[in-house]
């Protein structure tokens, strides 16, 4: 799992794709581009290993097919640009790539290769899947979010420098998790008993101020909402190092889905499969059952909106969730009571209550699967 | 300007407020809470100094006035909680404060002090204005966003530790700008010629990778969109150290307003006046006139939406913008051409073009005021 990015060889793989096409043309064959279909019907839940992945349904793009030749040409143009970025050893975003593609035909050509970024985005994913590479291997940065503190060092080979960053010496700021945590970055000296992922930065700051991660010898992470690709990969890598992963979110469908995304991966990133999934993750809270354990929380609930309840219904219908009894119980309780709860509410009795809440849950292994 | 937070004494100021009320009660007077009105009609543009501030219109809240006594009580409850946070030396958010207020009457009292956070938020601002304190002085963290790299060190007095963070050694991550850059934090050893504020993190990452800030000896900041309070204060503090501040955003009403917010402060934070304004800031681009200077950009424009155009119209009507001729020209060109431009488009010819774009503008002092 962790080995893939090291042996990615994106430059060679793109060149191989190019050579294949040239060979086809020279020998009078119809050049083809083959990838796995990313449509919903080809997204499967791997029951045994506990994550979302693509099935075996393939998609072909032929140059000599009027309906496919434009997309074929576009796909090759995207691959060529990525090849250039990798060769130059420079990074950009999928938006930067789009602008280069739009620019590249020059001003004397009327036709645009692309008129909207929504045309180039799926082709990047096609290439990722087809060549078994990630966007990060193609030097395309994804959005980044997420902050970390804890007894861990990062070795960042950045440009000409080799920088050691001590995540226990970042003060109130924490270490900002980059968009790519695979290439040119190593996690060394990870000395922690577990990692805890806290949905909201506000709570992360609270716990960081209390020195929670020092006292517990934990790695304290916030994805700041739904976890970006880099943060999901980081969590996967910490799990690979043997750290238990605990997740702490709001008690509503959105918070709970942050957990599920970390655990099983998401529908959108199903094509990345096990690389962005951490099936070993466990859920700490907030749960609807916390209302029974912590009397005061009953005063601090909020009304769930129609949208909240619809999303909860949707979650129950997902194959990978509906088989988990305790989660069905939680979701049904939310739907019938029409209530939700924020993690911030745990500050009600005193600001440091949230520290004890997590410690108790970890100590008693009071998790949802 | 920079001295305020050092001499804030929030604990003493809240205690003084409390003592005044007790004294009024004991001597049979009607206890009062006085603050400056934050309504639109009391927000002025200080022409001479170039920032938005509150006027002299006051607002009084009497305990012995049926229409005001609930809000009076609520205001005092908020002040009491903040006093507690300051005494405990613990931080939370305005949401954490709300939950403590909701919790505090206990389970045997039916009445809530607050039923919605929208009731407690304005009272915090009332107290800030009345006592000439900031939210940060009251140990209330604001949202944080924003990242920085450059030849600068930060001394973070965090808990029991004194941590020196070298912003030139943070690699691809950069230093995450905290929500409070005044209390317990110092900027030492700022060795840079200027600071450049880049709207989008994607462009920040691009420039960081190129070592732009090293080559130019600049401080490279991204607010990641509209600047949070902490980032605005940080920019103000760098300007206080004599650094020129340059801002680089998309060429659309939203990007341009990010600049104006940094420069003059915003309507919402007018009560903080000069503390969150940097009238010395200059605008680098992207401008509509760049279309004349950089031919290729004409191919990379986007259509401005109705909402974009409406926002541009609104901006022209602001007193502090309509007096600035070059800005009126820019806004009118946008409105008549119905076009906009992203900073990402500067990657069209080559990924490193954006570096040269900024360098040229700085070298030629090609700024908008």
Per-residue pLDDT of chain B (369 residues; tens, 9 = 90+): 333 445 679 999 999 999 999 999 999 999 999 999 999 999 999 999 999 999 999 999 988 888 888 999 999 999 999 999 999 999 999 999 999 999 876 555 656 788 889 999 999 999 999 999 999 999 999 889 999 999 999 999 998 899 999 999 999 999 999 999 998 899 998 999 999 999 999 999 999 999 999 999 999 999 999 999 999 999 999 999 999 999 999 999 999 999 999 999 999 899 999 999 999 999 999 999 999 999 999 999 999 999 999 999 999 999 999 999 999 999 999 999 999 999 999 999 999 999 999 999 999 999 999
Of B169, B349, B351, the CB nearest to A92: B351
User: What is the SS3 assignment for A202?
Assistant: helix
Q: How far is CA A128 from CA A73, A79, B128, in A?
A: 17, 10, 52
In chain B, which residue's Cα lies nearest the Cα of A214? B159
pLDDT in tens, A229-260: 999 999 999 999 999 999 999 999 999 999 99
Q: Can the peptide bond before residue B114 be classed as cis, meaning omega within 30 degrees of 0?
A: no
Interface probe with B: pick from A173, A212, A341, most Cβ of B within 10 Å = A173
Residues 6+ apart with CB under 8 A from B154: A171, B164, B165, B167, B175, B185, B186, B187, B188
pLDDT in tens, A57-94: 999 998 888 888 899 999 999 999 999 999 999 999 99
C-alpha triplet B362, B173, A238: angle, nearest 5°: 170
In chain A, residues with a C-beta closer than 8 Å to the C-beta of B165 are 169-171, 173
A367: left (phi over 0), alpha (psi -120 to 50) or beta: beta
In chain B, which residue's Cα lies nearest the Cα of A180? B172
Residues in chain B: 369
Give this prediction's pTM: 0.94
Domain B147-363, CATH number (from 3.50.50.60, 3.30.200.20, 3.40.1360.10, 1.10.645.10): 3.40.1360.10
Domain residue limits, chain B: 10-141, 147-363
Test B176 with A178 for CB contact under 8 angstroms.
no
- How far apart CA B206 and CA B204 sit, in angstroms, is 5
Nearest to B343 by CA among B146, B199, B196, B197: B199
Interface probe with B: pick from A102, A171, A220, most Cβ of B within 10 Å = A171
The CA-based diameter of chain B, rounded to the nearest angstrom, is: 76
Packing angle, helices B69-88 and B117-131, rounded to 10: 70
Residues 6+ apart with CB under 8 A from B138: B10, B82, B85, B86, B124, B127, B128
Place of tokens 């469908």: A253
pLDDT at A67: 87
In chain A, residues with a C-beta closer than 8 Å to the C-beta of B344 are 93, 95-96, 99
Shortest Cα–Cα distance, B323 to chain A (Å): 35
Test A345 with B99 for CB contact under 8 angstroms.
yes
Shortest Cα–Cα distance, B344 to chain A (Å): 6
In chain A, residues with a C-beta closer than 8 Å to the C-beta of B91 are 205-206, 209, 351
Torsion B218-B220-B226-B231 (CA) sign: negative
Question: Please, which residues bridge with residue B197 across strands?
Answer: B221, B247
Test B171 with A179 for CB contact under 8 angstroms.
no
In chain B, which residue's Cα lies nearest the Cα of A169? B163
Query: If you ran DSSP here, which 8-state letter would residue A342 be given?
Result: -
In chain A, residues with a C-beta closer than 8 Å to the C-beta of B295 are 107
Test B202 with A176 for CB contact under 8 angstroms.
no
Shortest Cα–Cα distance, A321 to chain B (Å): 31
Residues in chain A: 369
Packing angle, helices B94-103 and A201-209, rounded to 10: 80
Test A95 with B177 for CB contact under 8 angstroms.
no
- How far apart CA B24 and CA B30 sit, in angstroms, is 6
In chain B, residues with a C-beta closer than 8 Å to the C-beta of A347 are 92, 96, 99-100
- Does residue A200 contact residue A224 with C-beta atoms inside 8 Å? yes
In chain B, residues with a C-beta closer than 8 Å to the C-beta of A158 are 171-172
Count Cα neighbours of A236 within 13 Å in the Cβ-side half-sphere: 26
Is the reported ipTM for this assembly greater than 0.90?
yes
| Both tokens assigned to B362 | 């700085």
In chain A, residues with a C-beta closer than 8 Å to the C-beta of B221 are none
- How far apart CA A4 and CA A276 sit, in angstroms, is 12
Q: Which of B99, B103, B194, B318 is catalytic?
A: B99
State residue A220 phi and psi, 5-degree precision: -105, 115
Interface probe with A: pick from B172, B286, B353, B357, most Cβ of A within 10 Å = B172
Nearest to B316 by CA among B256, B239, B238: B256
| Both tokens assigned to B164 | 């020196």
Test B165 with A163 for CB contact under 8 angstroms.
no
In chain A, residues with a C-beta closer than 8 Å to the C-beta of B352 are 90
pLDDT at A160: 87
Give the strand order in the sheet containing A185-188.
Answer: A161-166, A153-158, A185-188
Indicate if A99 belongs to the active site. yes
pLDDT at B63: 87
- Distance between first and last Cα of chain A: 22
DSSP characters for A19-78?
HHHHHHHHTT---EEEEE--SGGGEEEETTTTEEEE-S-EEEEETT-TTTHHHHHHHHHH
Place of tokens 């009076």: B72
- How far apart CA B186 and CA B61 sit, in angstroms, is 38
Of B102, B156, B299, the CB nearest to A172: B156
Shortest Cα–Cα distance, A43 to chain B (Å): 30
Interface probe with B: pick from A185, A202, A204, most Cβ of B within 10 Å = A202
Test B202 with A342 for CB contact under 8 angstroms.
no
In chain B, which residue's Cα lies nearest the Cα of A165? B170
Of A107, A175, A296, the CB nearest to B173: A175
pLDDT in tens, A270-314: 999 999 999 999 999 999 999 999 999 999 999 999 999 999 999
Shortest Cα–Cα distance, A106 to chain B (Å): 8
- Does residue B302 contact residue B339 with C-beta atoms inside 8 Å? yes
pLDDT at B4: 46
Strands (E) located in chain B: 32-36, 43-46, 51-54, 58-62, 92-93, 140-141, 147-149, 153-158, 161-166, 175-176, 185-188, 194-198, 218-222, 245-248, 282-285, 302-303, 339-340
Gyration radius from chain B CA atoms: 23
pLDDT at B5: 46
DSSP characters for B106-135?
-TT----S-SSHHHHHHHHHHHHHHHT--T
Shortest Cα–Cα distance, B263 to chain A (Å): 25
- Does residue B244 contact residue B217 with C-beta atoms inside 8 Å? no
Shortest Cα–Cα distance, A133 to chain B (Å): 21
Of A102, A300, A347, the CB nearest to B299: A102
Q: Which CATH architecture has domain B10-141?
A: Orthogonal Bundle (1.10)
- Distance between first and last Cα of chain B: 22
In chain B, residues with a C-beta closer than 8 Å to the C-beta of A118 are none
Nearest to B169 by CA among B158, B153, B157: B153
Nearest to B153 by CA among B141, B168, B142: B168
Test B351 with A88 for CB contact under 8 angstroms.
yes
Test A102 with B210 for CB contact under 8 angstroms.
no
Q: Can the peptide bond before residue B286 be classed as cis, meaning omega within 30 degrees of 0?
A: yes
In chain B, which residue's Cα lies nearest the Cα of A168? B163
Nearest to B167 by CA among B156, B158, B157, B159: B156
Q: Which of A36, A99, A259, A271 is catalytic?
A: A99
């Amino acid at each position: 799992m962790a080995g893939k990015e090291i042996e990615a060889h994106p430059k060679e793989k793109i060149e191989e794709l190019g050579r294949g096409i040239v060979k086809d043309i020279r020998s009078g064959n119809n050049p083809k581009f083959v990838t796995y279909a990313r449509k919903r019907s080809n997204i499967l839940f791997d029951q045994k290993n506990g994550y979302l992945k693509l099935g075996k349904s393939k998609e072909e793009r032929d140059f000599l097919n009027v309906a496919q030749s434009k997309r074929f040409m576009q796909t090759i143009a995207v691959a060529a640009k990525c090849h250039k970025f990798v060769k130059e050893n420079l990074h950009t975003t999928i938006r930067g790539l789009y602008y280069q593609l739009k620019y590249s035909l020059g001003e004397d050509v009327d036709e645009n290769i692309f008129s909207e970024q929504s045309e180039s985005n799926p082709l990047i994913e096609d290439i990722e899947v087809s060549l078994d590479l990630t966007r990060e291997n193609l030097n395309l940065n994804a959005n980044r979010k997420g902050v970390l503190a804890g007894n861990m060092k990062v070795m960042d080979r950045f440009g000409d420098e080799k920088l050691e960053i001590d995540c226990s010496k970042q003060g109130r700021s924490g270490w900002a998790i980059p968009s790519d945590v695979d290439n040119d970055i190593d996690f060394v000296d990870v000395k922690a008993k577990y990692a805890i992922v806290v949905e909201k930065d506000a709570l992360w700051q609270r716990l960081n101020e209390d020195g929670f991660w020092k006292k517990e010898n934990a790695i304290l992470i916030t994805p700041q909402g739904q976890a970006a690709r880099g943060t999901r990969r980081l969590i996967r890598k910490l799990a690979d190092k043997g750290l238990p992963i605990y997740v702490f979110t709001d008690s509503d469908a959105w918070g709970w889905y942050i957990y599920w995304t970390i655990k099983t991966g998401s529908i959108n990133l199903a094509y990345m499969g096990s690389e962005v999934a951490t099936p070993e993750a466990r859920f700490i809270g907030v749960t609807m059952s916390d209302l029974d354990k912590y009397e005061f929380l009953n005063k601090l609930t909020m009304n769930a909106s129609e949208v909240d309840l619809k999303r909860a219904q949707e979650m129950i219908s997902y194959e990978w969730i509906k088989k988990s009894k305790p989660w069905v119980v939680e979701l049904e309780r939310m739907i019938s009571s029409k209530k939700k709860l924020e993690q911030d509410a745990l500050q009600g009795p005193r600001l440091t209550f949230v520290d004890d809440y997590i410690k108790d849950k970890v100590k008693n292994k009071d998790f949802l699967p």
